[in-house]
Structures are given as C-alpha cells and as structure tokens.
C-alpha cells in the first residue's frame, strides 16, 4: 500500500510539473455564460493562438496519462495469475492504476478550476457539460477502483460486484459518444480537428464496449470462460494504447 501511495505522489508531482509549464484553460471553459463559437484564422490573436496550443498539449497529456494507466492495469490483470504466485500484492496493482487515474482526472482534467484556477467547481460543472463529464468519468474510475480493490482483498464477494466493472464500462463508453470537446471548436482547422476528435472518441467507446462485453462473458460459467478471461485485458490494453495515441 505504501508503494502505491508513493507511486501516486510521484505521478501527481510530475503531472503538476507538466501542468505548471502549460498554464492555460480550455477556451470553452473560460466563459461559462454561453457556448463558445468556432474561431477562424481571422479571429485568432497571438495570445489566443498560444492558449489554443497550450490547451491542445494539456488535453493530449491528459489522454496519454490516462491511457498509460489503463494499459498498465491491463498488463497487471493479464499476467496476474503468474505474478501473484511470486508477489501476492500484485493483485492490488491494477485497481491501483484505476485509482490513480481517477484521482488525476478528478483533480487535473480541468486546470481552470480551483486550486489551479479561479473558477469554482460547481459553477463550471453547471455551465460546461465537458467539465461535468470529466468529473463523471473520474467518479466511474474511482468507483471501479474501489470495488475491484475490495474484491482483490476478498472483502467484497457478492455476485453483483463482478458485474460492476462491465456496467461502469458500458456507462462510460456510452457517455463518450456524447462527450463535447470545446477546445477543438477553435482555430482555422476546427472542422478537421473536431472530426478527428470525434473519430478517436468513437474508437474509445467501441473499445470500452468490447471490454465490457468480454468481461461480462468472463463472469459466466461456460467452456469459453478462460478465453474471455484472457481476452478482456487485451481489449483493455488496446483501449489504453488508443488513448496514448490521441492527438488533436
């Protein structure tokens, strides 16, 4: 447990350092009174161009870090049987990956909010569906991490607990289909960027649904159960890699 805490502190310190050199807010978040309008090249000032670039880097970093933890958790789960024979504590590592990722998304996904910015959480979540969905994704990750951590400890043994993972995965995947991305609505190439972002998020949603389905089948006593037990971590690894390849 101490190792996981120290690892989390190290990750958050590095993340904070990266954010510190990218002091920016998402264009669509700074004006909660209304929806942002697409900005063409004629409307871009040097300051807005610099902010757009910083927002792009921040968003890509968030996706890449989340993808890293998803892929890492998948690796731990895929080889869990072998690893736990030598290091029993490894069974907690993959829930820890989701725990760290959930905390990161909750706190660092929108740096215009307190304590990094001046906006209040309740105001931003009320006026921006993007911010609200970021926090929902964080809650889904944290809930998943807590449930799976308790299952790994042997504390949570109820049959319903095995179905929490696919249920949360389906919920998050469906939500991704409706996830707005205000930063992509700015710039001369905003139409191309939005099309690419939507395509990427669609691939995440499909991969997430694939994880949910294969994980569900791994919970059912059939001749194919062992196959699905090995398949869903592989699909989850694919999801993590897709997130790490995200670009705007």
Using 50, 70 and 90 to split pLDDT, how confident is the model at 49?
confident
Distance CA 61, CA 64 (A): 5
Mean pLDDT of the chain: 81
Residue 224 has pLDDT above 60, yes or no: yes
Identify the residue with better confidence: 206 or 59: 206
Residue 244 has pLDDT above 50, yes or no: yes
Region of poorest pLDDT, from 54-58, 78-82, 221-225, 237-241: 54-58
- For position 54, what pLDDT does the model report? 81
Using 50, 70 and 90 to split pLDDT, how confident is the model at 33?
very low
Share of the chain above pLDDT 90, in %: 50
Ramachandran sector of residue 25 (left: φ over 0; alpha: ψ -120 to 50; beta: rest)? beta
In 1-124, DSSP assigns E strands to none
Residue 172 has pLDDT above 50, yes or no: yes
Q: What is the DSSP string of 150-187?
A: HHHHTS---GGGGGHHHHHHHHHHHHHTT---GGGGBS
Instruction: Fill in the DSSP letter of residue 79.
Output: T
- For position 10, what pLDDT does the model report? 42
- For position 14, what pLDDT does the model report? 42
- For position 187, what pLDDT does the model report? 59
Residue 115 has pLDDT above 60, yes or no: yes
pLDDT in tens, 81-102: 888 888 888 889 999 999 999 9
Tell me the mean pLDDT in the region 200-216: 95
The residue among 147, 158, 205, 196 whose CA lies nearest residue 178 is: 205
Residue 185 has pLDDT above 90, yes or no: no
Tell me the mean pLDDT in the region 132-144: 94
Using 50, 70 and 90 to split pLDDT, how confident is the model at 7?
very low
The full set of domain ranges for the chain reads 55-244
Residue 40 has pLDDT above 70, yes or no: no
- For position 82, what pLDDT does the model report? 87
Predicted structure pTM score: 0.77
Query: What tokens were used for 83?
Result: 């690893």
């Amino acid at each position: 447990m101490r190792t996981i805490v120290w690892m989390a502190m190290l990750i958050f310190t590095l993340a904070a350092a990266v954010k510190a050199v990218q002091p920016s807010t998402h264009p669509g978040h700074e004006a909660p009174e209304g929806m942002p309008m697409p900005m063409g090249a004629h409307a871009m000032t040097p300051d807005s161009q610099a902010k757009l670039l910083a927002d792009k880097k921040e968003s890509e970093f968030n996706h890449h870090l989340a993808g890293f933890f998803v892929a890492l958790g998948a690796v731990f789960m895929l080889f869990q049987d072998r690893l736990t024979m030598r290091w029993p504590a490894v069974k907690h590592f993959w829930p820890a990956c989701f725990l760290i990722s959930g905390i990161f998304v909750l706190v660092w996904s929108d740096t215009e909010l307190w304590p990094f910015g001046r906006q209040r959480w309740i105001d931003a979540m009320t006026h921006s569906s993007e911010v609200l969905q970021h926090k929902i994704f964080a809650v889904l990750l944290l809930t998943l991490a807590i449930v799976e951590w308790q299952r790994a400890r042997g504390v949570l043994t109820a049959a319903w607990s095995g179905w929490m993972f696919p249920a949360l995965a389906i919920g998050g995947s469906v939500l991704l289909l409706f996830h707005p991305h205000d930063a992509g609505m700015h710039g001369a190439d905003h139409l191309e960027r939005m099309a690419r972002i939507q395509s990427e998020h669609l691939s995440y949603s499909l991969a997430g649904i694939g994880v949910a389905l294969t994980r569900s089948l791994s919970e059912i006593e059939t001749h194919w159960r062992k196959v699905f037990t090995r398949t869903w971590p592989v699909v989850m690894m694919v999801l993590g890699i897709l997130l790490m390849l995200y670009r705007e």
